Amino acid sequence: MKLPELEEKDITYLEEAIDAMDEVLEPMKSFVLPGGHTTVSFCQIARCVCRRSERVITDLSLNDFVSPIVLAYVNRLSDYLFVLGRKLSKDLNAKEQPWEPRN
């Protein structure tokens, strides 16, 4: 199967989408725990899988050539999924649960 090549415009698209969602979100004051709504949880799971893929791709790049754009795209994709989860929390009126460290 022939996959389309990643281009800088693909990364730019993700960054612009992140910026647009960030404009309507409250600034983060602490880490946010996943959850609040099933759809939001799915975004967080997808983000975790994306981060895991990024680690695997990074390890692969130590032994084989990996285009830098692939790593950049996967990194931005995981950020996009995080912000998407926060945006969906807002849209679905799901409460974001801040992480509070134990004393």
- The DSSP-derived string for 42-79 is HHHHHHHHHHHHHHHHHHHHTTS---HHHHHHHHHHHH
Query: How far is residue 40's CA from residue 59's CA, in Å, rounded to a whole number?
Result: 29
pLDDT value at position 27? 87
Tell me which residue has tokens 């899988």: 49
Whether residue 25 is predicted with pLDDT greater than 80 in this model: the reply is: yes
Phi (first) and psi of residue 33, to 5 degrees? -80, 145
Among candidate residues 89, 2, 75, 1, the one with its CA nearest the CA of residue 41: 89
The alpha-carbon radius of gyration of the chain (Å, integer) is: 16
- Summary mean pLDDT of the chain: 92
Q: What is the DSSP secondary structure assignment for residue 23, as one 8-state letter? A: T
The whole-model pTM stands at: 0.88
